[in-house]
């Protein structure tokens, strides 16, 4: 059984953690499969959005601690340097929107892989936990970068130091995630979000993603200059021409992502 299920459904790539017997906990085969799937998403022009979720009761429970008990266990340098960090960077570099559909528990690195995505939605029974401190570790997978920017330094500090479980609703209310859907409609609602993004002007969405990433370290003047540059690129795109034409003709636009 593959640790990652990958399929194209229309213009959306469906990437699913698939180790339900261990709550989709992360190991090296899963890391290799996820990196490969994300590279396919980057290279395939027909894929215009990515949907990341899990099989069974969990999104991802973080690192599989059994892997660390093997006769020749991986080092943290190997795990972070070869898997977690490249995955987070690949998601950030992907020029198409990535939706994390958190279908259950998202713990440790599993929570932070979700937060590395562009939009995070969760089922109402899901929860998030920065579990690292409970076993004497430091949050990784971009958690110390993304979480304080989402919820503020004080809340991020408390979540990381105390390791408390946060409900999906609480995560939404503190700005950690975008939306919560009822359990019974979660699969359909979260998938519809990814499909909607895939029909949008994805070239512009990639530029929005770039602008938001660079705003983290820019001065106001630098960000205004970047907006000027990116707006020029967007304004020269086929999608902009189609958007204006569709507006004037009072019809739905047919964006190509170009």
Alpha helices in the chain (DSSP H): 28-43, 76-79, 85-93, 109-115, 143-151, 153-162, 168-173, 186-198, 202-215, 220-235, 238-248
Whether residue 206 sits in one domain with residue 86: no
Full-prediction pTM beyond 0.85?
Answer: yes
For residues 48 and 159, state if they share a domain. Answer: yes
The C-alpha atoms of residue 135 and residue 176 are separated, in whole angstroms, by 23
Write out the two tokens for 119: 């939009």
- Do 162 and 214 lie in one domain? The reply is no
Half-sphere exposure at residue 27, Cβ-oriented, CA atoms within 13 angstroms: 17
Same domain as 206, residue 130: no
Q: Tokens 């590395």 sit at which residue? A: 116
**How do the pLDDT tens digits run along the chain, 258 residues long?**
799 999 999 999 999 999 999 999 999 999 999 999 999 999 999 999 999 999 999 999 999 999 999 888 999 999 999 999 999 999 999 999 999 999 999 999 999 999 999 999 999 999 999 999 999 999 999 999 999 999 999 999 999 999 999 999 999 999 999 999 999 999 999 999 999 999 999 999 999 999 999 998 999 999 999 999 999 999 999 999 999 999 999 999 999 999
83 part of a folded domain: yes
Domain range for 126 is: 4-198
Asked whether residue 175 falls in the same domain as residue 235, the answer is no
């Amino acid at each position: 059984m593959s640790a990652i299920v990958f399929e194209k459904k229309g213009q959306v790539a469906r990437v699913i953690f698939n180790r339900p017997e261990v709550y989709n906990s992360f190991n090296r085969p899963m890391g290799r499969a996820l990196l490969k799937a994300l590279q396919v998403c980057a290279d395939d022009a027909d894929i215009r959005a990515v949907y990341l979720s899990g099989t069974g009761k969990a999104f991802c429970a973080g690192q599989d601690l059994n892997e660390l008990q093997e006769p020749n266990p991986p080092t943290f340098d190997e795990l972070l340097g070869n898997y977690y960090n490249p995955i987070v960077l690949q998601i950030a570099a992907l020029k198409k929107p990535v939706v994390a559909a958190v279908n259950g528990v998202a713990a440790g690195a599993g929570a932070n892989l979700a937060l590395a995505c562009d939009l995070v939605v969760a089922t109402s029974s899901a929860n998030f936990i920065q579990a690292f401190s409970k076993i004497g570790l430091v949050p990784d997978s971009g958690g110390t970068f993304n979480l304080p920017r989402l919820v503020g330094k004080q809340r991020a500090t408390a979540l990381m130091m105390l390791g408390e479980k946060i409900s999906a609703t609480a995560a939404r209310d503190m700005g950690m995630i975008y939306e919560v859907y009822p359990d019974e409609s979660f699969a359909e609602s979260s998938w519809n979000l990814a499909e909607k993004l895939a029909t949008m002007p994805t070239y512009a969405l990639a530029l929005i993603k770039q602008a938001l990433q660079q705003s983290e370290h820019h001065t106001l003047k630098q960000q205004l200059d970047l907006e000027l540059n990116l707006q020029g690129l967007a304004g020269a795109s086929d999608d902009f021409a189609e958007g204006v034409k569709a507006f004037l003709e009072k019809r739905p636009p047919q964006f190509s992502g170009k």
